[in-house]
């Protein structure tokens, strides 16, 4: 039986079961616990660690479900033959993923990325420039009066004042054509998608781009949708593939596809719109998650603004433009779906606290948001320009794309190594970079071509960029047998 | 072709499409429109009623989807053979999905109740005593430092500090036995139910009390659950009916059933728990929405505290104890479901803003919540005692029940009128009272016995109580032909 020398740390934010799980998993992955070796029973290990048995069981069950352990009836737990896991075409780290879509968002939600010194995350923003003073002032003003109405149940679709402010912003900044009545405010895109699927009713077939924003895929799959994936060319989603799959709904990010950065030109947009009009009940979900951040040329107006027939459902968020922690997204519904919303989902109370909605409405109406956005656009543009110029000097960088928008770049690497290997070796050196393939829906065919890294720069300062790049350079050049 | 003599009423709260739908449905159900009879086209009917064609289409589509109408290609709409629908075991009202839960919560969410001078709402609380100063102070302290971590994505299950604070509170106040790891914080009970149904996966058969909290019924129905309803006796949900329906899940409010106020005694609780243990995969959802407010005897500990086998999912909320507008609920999952949560739903970011979670955690940890709760319990008890004494003096009041807890009473009325009639006449006099039957799930058999009003007093001062009661007295005594 293998003796486990686990050093539990109560002070860590990581739960105990997770510490046990991590210890055993890494020891099996490293071969320190070898295939077929018996592990202590949950009872023994719990007694040894002086913790509850259910904590140990939780860790063991997760290891079982991921294939690291095997249970033999009446005998106990044994380390599995993990070499088989690799043969199956999965990368060693892939089985750790509990489900198809628990990618980097889950990591960052759990704070797992905190262990790296430099994180090229596409999800992390720069909050050092947030107008704390303005937010404080608005919050103080809102709470200054003992106002009981602030604590009464609010409007189901969100406070009218906030919906008005968002409408005005969307009209001017994104060419979105809607009234405050058409807007539903909710606690994040995923919640709005849950609501939308209830509004649409019944099982729907949804086509998405691949690679894509995996949380949206996960939400729609969880809500029982029949998911299909379409390839992209330089103009985005391939319409002929959509037609072949014959979905009810297309989910797309036309202004800045995540993670590829592809911008859908007008012609392709019109093709999409005419596909939607061909049959009643077809809809396009336009996820316009970060189009505020374009650094070259004119901003690209929304697809919704081109839609004359009520086929586009527009979804936007303040996660990028303000912060993911404020949990505010919005959705503009076409008339037919608005009626269905009132008929089927009107009883749901808003998921955003009234206090938060009122502060945000004031933040928009009093011009703070606009100023903040312009300031952040300048800051991110400067970071973008610097990061791009640093990368262009690197001889191992073959091609850069997805530039001039958002907060990450895609970097094709001149190497014999796989991107996954580069990512692993960078991790071992304290740097978290991302393989573009991490954003591909699990189990679908890998893209051909050069290994491609996804490198986010939104939260990084110059020093960190330089250091991160130099570590990547070393890793790319190192011999494979390192 | 059948001529439709529909009398549309613009002033009604009921949408026009719904009026058309109701008219046609009831005429088909009554046999006034018989099987195979042709209906006017949407174009014709719209022209006849002078409304938009899309309104008529919406009504027709609903009738089609529920099987009341059939569309014959190129010919038009015909009344279906509905006898088959009944033979199939469905009651005539079952197919009417939409109206089941558009009750009082929707009213208050939309502010519709604001038109009444006195509202005996069971949902409105007294916010005049809210510790605004403390909330302001905590909010100011939180925002005092320019802290970028406040704006970074938070923990998926909710901030650990808040989960710890809630755990401690639940253990001491409600006898709930869980660790912070087991708690999921979410933006309201309905959101948590959406999440829970995804954690449980697949279609489930859920048994609920009737009458009940209709928003929960609505959410579960929307999430695709097969809903069954059980009667109650003086001890709550009838176990033999549960066994007959054979659901996977029982949703119950054992400490203070809404709206009846029934408290489930230990014996019935143990019966429920042993029902759940009989078969793996059975769960009990305990909705403990307002048990903080008991005015007599000891507080009743949670059902979860009696559960030794991980069959109870405990759901609680700050909507009653603080305010519905802060949108914070919590759910304690048994271990097996916790694993499923991490596996399938761990990618969902928390739906509650981090700022709000931190303020609330401080509110709990620094003792403000406890003081506020004790103060509000005294205030609501005083209101309860006063309201009860006022009602006891009324000769038209036959019996009062549901007393000594919560924020509403049930009042049996000595009269020949129906409760619905009393409610209508009171409305005409600027008073909103509630018919207990409004909380019954749409289409189920009405309760026998005296007409019963549901009267909430949480938000009312003495003057309003007295005036409201005197108007109800007049209405009850007035001749029917008024």
Looking at residue A292, its pLDDT comes to: 86
Mean pLDDT to the nearest integer, A270-296: 93
Which of A148, A222, A327 has its CB closest to that of B352?
Answer: A327
Q: A420-429, A472-481, B387-396: which range is least confident on average? A: A472-481
pLDDT, mean over chain A: 86
Nearest to A135 among B135, B143, B339 (CB): B143
Contacts of residue A240, Cβ cutoff 8 Å, sequence gap at least 6: none
**What is the helix, strand, coil percentage profile of chain B, to 5?**
45, 15, 40
- The proportion of chain A whose per-residue pLDDT surpasses 90, expressed as a percent, equals 59
Give B237-258 pLDDT, tens digit per residue.
Answer: 999 999 999 999 999 999 999 9
pLDDT on residue B43: 85
Secondary structure percentages of chain A, helix, strand, coil, to 5 = 45, 15, 40
Dihedral pair phi/psi, residue B270, rounded to 5°: -65, -35
Compute the distance between CA of residue A16 and CA of residue A18 in angstroms, rounded to an integer.
5
Residue-wise pLDDT tens digits, A160-199 = 999 999 999 999 889 999 999 999 999 999 999 999 999 9
Beta-carbon separation of A127 and B151 below 8 A: yes
Taking CB atoms and an 8 Å cutoff, what residues of chain A touch B95? none
Do the Cβ atoms of A309 and A282 come closer than 8 Å?
no
Express as a percent the part of chain A with pLDDT over 70.
Answer: 90
Length of chain A equals 482
Nearest one of B234, B384, B369, B371 to B296, comparing CA atoms: B384
Answer yes or no: are the C-beta atoms of B128 and B122 closer than 8 Å. no
- Range with the lowest mean pLDDT among A69-73, A437-441, B194-198, B391-395? A69-73
Q: Is CATH 3.30.230.10 the classification given to domain B132-367?
A: no
Q: Which residues of B touch A140 (CB under 8 A)?
A: 136, 139-140
How close B372 comes to chain A (CA, Å)? Answer: 14
pLDDT for the residue A82 = 63
Cα A102 from Cα B256, distance rounded (Å): 39
State yes or no: pLDDT of B226 exceeds 90: yes
Cis peptide before A74 (omega within 30 of 0): no
What's residue A443's pLDDT? 72
| Whole-number Å distance between alpha carbons of B352 and B327 | 8
- pLDDT above 70 as % of chain B: 90
Query: Quick one: pLDDT at residue B108?
Result: 35
pLDDT at B468: 97
Paired strand residues for A76: A72
Q: B379-387 long-range CB contacts below 8 Å, 24 or more apart?
A: B379/B126, B379/B129, B380/B126, B380/B293, B380/B295, B380/B407, B380/B458, B381/B295, B383/B126, B383/B407, B383/B457, B383/B458, B383/B460, B383/B465, B384/B295, B384/B409, B384/B457, B385/B295, B386/B462, B386/B465, B387/B455, B387/B457, B387/B460, B387/B465
Contact A351 B146 (CB under 8 A): no
- pLDDT tens, position by position, A201-222: 878 999 999 999 999 999 999 9
Residue B88 has pLDDT above 70, yes or no: no
Ranges in chain B annotated CATH 3.40.640.10: 132-367
Mean pLDDT across A83-89: 32
Closest-CA residue in chain A for B18?
A343
First CA to last CA distance, chain B: 39
Cis peptide before A211 (omega within 30 of 0): yes
3-state secondary structure of A401: strand
Least confident interval from A234-248, B143-157, B415-429: B143-157
Top-confidence residue, B358 or A8: B358
Q: What does each C-alpha distance from B196 to A109, A234, B244, B249, B351 come to in angstroms?
A: 19, 40, 25, 12, 14
Mean pLDDT lowest among A345-354, B123-132, B178-187: B123-132
Selected for mutation to probe chain B from A130, A158, A325, A358 (highest B CB count within 10 Å) is A325
**Minimal Cα distance from A340: which residue of B?**
B58
Question: What are residue B316's DSSP bridge partners?
Answer: B330
Best of A104, A203, A349, A359 to substitute, by most chain B Cβ atoms within 10 angstroms, is A349
pLDDT at A110: 36
Q: Is B290 in contact with B406 (CB distance < 8 Å)?
A: yes
Please report the pLDDT score of residue A364 as a whole number. Answer: 96
Q: Identify the pLDDT of residue A300.
A: 78
Report CA dihedral (A252, A257, A260, A262) to the nearest 10 degrees: 100
CATH class, range B16-81: mainly alpha
Q: Which residue of B has its CA nearest to A62?
A: B339
pLDDT at B103: 31
Count of other CB atoms within 10 angstroms of residue B430: 14
Q: What is the pLDDT of residues B287-310, one digit of tens each?
A: 999 888 988 877 778 999 999 999
For position A150, what pLDDT does the model report?
85
| Enclosing H/E stretch for A413 | strand A408-413
CA dihedral B347, B352, B356, B357 (to 10 degrees): -50
Question: How does residue B93 score in pLDDT terms, banded at 50, 70 and 90?
Answer: very low
How large is the average pLDDT for residues A232-247? 96
For the record, the structure tokens of A157 come out as 């679709």
pLDDT at res. B217: 94
A291-300, A370-379, B230-239: least confidently modelled range: A291-300
The lowest-confidence range among A26-35, B188-197, B308-317 is A26-35
Find the CB nearest A101 among B181, B191, B347: B347
Long-range contacts of B378-383 (CB under 8 A, 24+ apart): B379/B126, B379/B129, B380/B126, B380/B293, B380/B295, B380/B407, B380/B458, B381/B295, B383/B126, B383/B407, B383/B457, B383/B458, B383/B460, B383/B465
Nearest to B351 among A99, A143, A191 (CB): A191
H or E stretch covering B251: strand B249-252
CB A326 within 8 A of CB A162: no
- Among partner residues B106, B218, B327, which is closest to A352 by beta-carbon distance? B327
For every residue of A316-358, DSSP letters joined together read EESTTTT-GGG--EEEEPPHHHHHHIIIIITTSPPSS-HHHHH
Contact in structure between B451 and B116 (CB atoms under 8 Å): no
Q: Is B233 within 8 Å of B260 (Cβ atoms)?
A: no
Q: What is the pLDDT of residue A89?
A: 24
Tell me: pLDDT of A12 over 60.
Answer: no
A226 has a pLDDT exceeding 80: yes
Neighboring chain B residues of A335 at a CB cutoff of 8 Å: 54
Match domain A109-128+371-481 to its CATH number in 3.40.120.10, 2.40.37.10, 3.30.110.40, 3.90.1150.10: 3.90.1150.10
As a dihedral over the C-alpha atoms of residue A110, residue A114, residue A116, residue A122, rounded to 10 degrees, the angle is: 70
Q: Give the per-residue pLDDT at B158.
A: 97
DSSP letter assigned to residue A96: G
Residues 6+ apart with CB under 8 A from A219: A189, A190, A193, A194, B348
Q: What is the ipTM of this complex?
A: 0.76
Model pLDDT for residues A27-53, shown as the tens digit of each residue: 887 777 888 888 888 888 888 888 888
Lowest mean pLDDT among A234-243, A293-302, B160-169, B201-210: A293-302
Considering Cα of B19, then B25, then B26, then B32, what sign does the dihedral take? positive
Contact A187, A351 (CB under 8 A): yes
Chain A positions touching B18 (Cβ under 8 A) are 343
**Mean of the per-residue pLDDT values for chain B?**
86
Which are the contacts of B470, defined by CB distance < 8 A and separation ≥ 6?
Answer: none
Chain B closest CA to A453's CA: distance in Å? 22
DSSP letters along A106-127, please? HHHHHTGGGGSSEE--SS----
pLDDT of residue A161: 96
Task: Describe the strand order of the beta sheet including B312-317 as a list of residue ranges.
Answer: B183-186, B329-332, B312-317, B283-287, B249-252, B205-209, B226-230
pLDDT of B113 reads 61
Provide CB contacts within 8 A for B392, sequence distance 6+: B400
A-to-B residue pairs, Cβ atoms closer than 8 angstroms: 219
> Are the Cβ atoms of B339 and A62 closer than 8 angstroms?
yes
Q: Where are the alpha helices (DSSP H) in B175-238?
A: 189-200, 214-222
Task: Grade residue A91 by pLDDT with cuts at 50, 70 and 90.
Answer: very low
- B151:A191 CB<8 A: no
Contact (CB, 8 A) for B77 and B60: yes
Query: What stretch(es) of chain B map to CATH 3.90.1150.10?
Result: 109-128+371-481
Tokens of A146: 């003992």
| Antiparallel, parallel or unpaired: β A232-233 and A236-237 | antiparallel
Q: Say if residues B414 and B398 touch (Cβ distance below 8 Å).
A: yes
Strand residue runs (E) in A66-162 = 69-72, 76-79, 118-119
Residues B314/B288, Cβ–Cβ less than 8 Å: yes
For residues B433 and B453, the answer to whether their CB atoms sit within 8 Å is yes
Phi-psi region of B213 (alpha: psi -120 to 50; beta: other; left: phi over 0): beta
Residues of A in contact with B153 (CB under 8 A): 105, 108-109, 123, 324-325
- In chain B, whose CA is at the least distance from the CA of A223? B198
**Cβ-nearest to B130 among A151, A154, A155:** A151
pLDDT digits (tens, 9 = 90+) for A107-126: 333 344 668 999 999 988 88
CATH 1.10.10.10 boundaries in chain A: 16-81
């Amino acid at each position: 039986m293998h003796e486990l020398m686990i050093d539990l740390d109560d002070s860590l934010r990581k739960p105990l079961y997770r510490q046990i799980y991590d210890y055993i998993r890494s020891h099996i992955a490293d071969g320190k616990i070898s295939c077929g070796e018996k592990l202590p029973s949950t009872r023994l290990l719990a007694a040894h660690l002086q913790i509850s048995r259910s904590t140990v069981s939780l860790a063991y069950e997760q290891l079982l479900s991921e294939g690291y352990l095997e249970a033999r009836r009446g005998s106990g737990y044994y380390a599995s033959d993990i070499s088989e896991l690799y043969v199956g075409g999965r990368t060693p780290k892939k089985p750790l993923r509990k489900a198809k879509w628990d990618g980097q968002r889950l990591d960052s939600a759990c704070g797992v990325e905190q262990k790296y010194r430099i994180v090229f995350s596409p999800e992390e923003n720069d909050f050092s420039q947030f107008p704390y003073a303005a937010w404080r002032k608005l919050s103080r003003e809102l709470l200054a009066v003992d106002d009981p109405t602030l604590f009464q149940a609010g409007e189901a679709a969100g406070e009218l004042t906030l919906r008005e402010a968002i409408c005005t912003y969307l009209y001017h900044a994104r060419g979105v054509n809607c009234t405050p009545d058409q807007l539903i405010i909710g606690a994040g895109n995923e919640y709005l998608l849950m609501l939308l699927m209830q509004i649409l009713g019944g099982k729907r077939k949804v086509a998405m781009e691949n690679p894509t924003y995996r949380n949206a895929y996960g939400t729609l799959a969880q809500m029982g949708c029949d998911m299909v994936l379409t390839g992209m060319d330089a103009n985005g989603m391939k319409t002929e593939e959509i037609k072949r799959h014959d979905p009810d709904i297309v989910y797309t990010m036309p202004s800045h596809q995540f993670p590829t950065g592809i911008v859908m030109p007008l012609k392709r947009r019109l093709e999409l719109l005419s596909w939607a009009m061909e049959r009643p009940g077809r809809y396009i979900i336009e996820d316009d998650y970060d189009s505020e951040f374009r650094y070259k040329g004119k901003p690209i107006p929304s697809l919704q603004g081109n839609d004359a027939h009520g086929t586009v459902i527009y979804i936007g968020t303040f996660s990028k433009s303000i912060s993911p922690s404020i949990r505010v997204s919005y959705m503009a519904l076409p008339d037919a779906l608005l009626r269905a919303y009132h008929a089927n989902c009107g009883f749901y109370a808003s998921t955003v606290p009234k206090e938060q909605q009122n502060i945000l409405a004031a933040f928009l109406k009093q011009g703070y948001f606009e100023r903040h956005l312009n300031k952040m656009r300048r800051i991110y543009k400067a970071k973008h320009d610097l990061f791009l110029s640093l990368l262009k000097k690197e001889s191992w960088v073959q091609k850069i794309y997805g530039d001039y928008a958002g907060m990450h770049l895609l970097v094709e690497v001149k190497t014999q190594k796989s991107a996954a290997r580069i990512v692993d070796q960078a991790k071992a050196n304290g740097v978290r970079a991302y393989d573009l393939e991490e954003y591909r829906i699990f189990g679908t065919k890998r893209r051909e071509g050069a290994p491609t890294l996804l490198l986010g720069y939104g939260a990084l300062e110059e020093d960190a960029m330089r250091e991160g790049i130099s570590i990547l350079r070393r890793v790319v050049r190192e011999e494979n047998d390192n």
